[in-house]
């Protein structure tokens, strides 16, 4: 199983418009972070995690020409507003893409993108739209995607809920603030954990900071943890210097193999 980090930034992206901080002016390409997205290449197909606004550019940069299913972690703009870029995968005659989303998010995504999900929405001759088959996720209820078992893992994100997952020896969660006892049990024994972290220091009401993410990673006990959803307040070099052994910063384009 191959995991590629398509985007590892927060909703502002990095560089941030009009900012001259160390990360935004960095010449290190690893400090250029687009909005969150990832892709899992499995034997039977590719599973896309979220559809951020830069999705088309991310897929081109990663050399990905096929998407067979989509996992929406939640419906915040930086995670879904590239949804129209999925159109190319359905107009080529491959049929509808199964798209998994938490039950409480289903109505919201269908309402925000009614031109996709409302069959009565008119579409002019010669035009096209993505064809997505929305399927509901429930925490702790396994689903099969591309012939592989995924275990949905619910994580609090302020007043909302984000759906991470466990697949094989990979645990994946973004935009979380805490790992519940149920989430910890679900991730127990993974070799690789992906978890969000904003910055060092000041706590955030809806996201882990770096210190909190490291504590959560130690509680899970993964051999290697990758931090994603990073802000412009930390550079890649600073993270490499300050993170403990076994915890690494992800960056756009990073690809890893997971058992």
Query: Using 50, 70 and 90 to split pLDDT, how confident is the model at 123?
Result: confident
pLDDT value, residue 126: 66
Q: What is the reported pTM?
A: 0.96
- Domains of the chain in start order, with CATH, are 2-257 (3.60.15.10)
pLDDT value, residue 3: 98
Provide DSSP, 55-100: HHHHHHHHT-----EEE-S---HHHHTTGGGGHHHHHTTT-PEEEE
pLDDT value, residue 39: 98
Query: Using 50, 70 and 90 to split pLDDT, how confident is the model at 245?
Result: very high
pLDDT value, residue 60: 98
Query: Using 50, 70 and 90 to split pLDDT, how confident is the model at 256?
Result: very high
Query: Using 50, 70 and 90 to split pLDDT, how confident is the model at 212?
Result: very high
pLDDT value, residue 92: 83
Please give the share of the chain, as a percent, with pLDDT higher than 90: 93
Residues 2-51: tens digit of each pLDDT: 999 999 999 999 999 999 999 999 999 999 999 999 999 999 999 999 99
Pairing of strands 2-7, 37-42: antiparallel
Core vs surface per residue 16-41: b (16+ CB within 10 A) or e: eeeeeeebbebeeebbbbbbbbbbbb
DSSP state of 107: H
Residue indicated by tokens 């081109």: 60
Residues 126-185: tens digit of each pLDDT: 678 899 999 999 999 999 999 999 999 999 999 999 999 999 999 999 999 999 999 999
pLDDT value, residue 218: 97
């Amino acid at each position: 199983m191959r995991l590629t980090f398509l985007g590892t930034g927060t909703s502002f992206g990095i560089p941030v418009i009009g900012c001259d901080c160390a990360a935004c002016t960095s010449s290190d390409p690893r400090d250029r972070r687009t909005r969150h997205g990832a892709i899992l290449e499995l034997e039977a197909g590719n599973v896309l995690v979220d559809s951020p606004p830069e999705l088309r550019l991310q897929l081109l940069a990663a050399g990905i020409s096929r998407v067979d299913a989509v996992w929406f972690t939640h419906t915040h703009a930086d995670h879904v507003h590239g949804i129209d870029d999925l159109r190319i995968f359905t107009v080529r005659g491959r049929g509808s893409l199964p798209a998994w989303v938490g039950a409480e998010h289903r109505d919201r995504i269908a309402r925000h993108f009614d031109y996709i999900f409302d069959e009565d929405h008119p579409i002019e001759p010669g035009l096209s739209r993505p064809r997505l088959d929305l399927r509901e996720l429930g925490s702790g209820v396994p689903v099969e995607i591309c012939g592989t078992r995924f275990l949905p893992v619910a994580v609090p994100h302020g007043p909302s809920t984000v759906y991470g997952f466990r697949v094989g020896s990979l645990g994946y969660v973004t935009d979380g603030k805490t790992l519940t006892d149920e989430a910890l049990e679900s991730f127990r024994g993974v070799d690789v954990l992906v978890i969000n972290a904003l910055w060092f220091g000041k706590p955030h009401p809806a996201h882990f900071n770096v210190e909190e993410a490291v504590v959560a990673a130690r509680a899970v006990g993964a051999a290697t943890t990758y931090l994603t959803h990073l802000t412009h307040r930390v550079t890649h070099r600073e993270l490499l210097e300050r993170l403990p052994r076994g915890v690494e910063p992800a960056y756009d384009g990073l690809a890893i193999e997971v058992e």
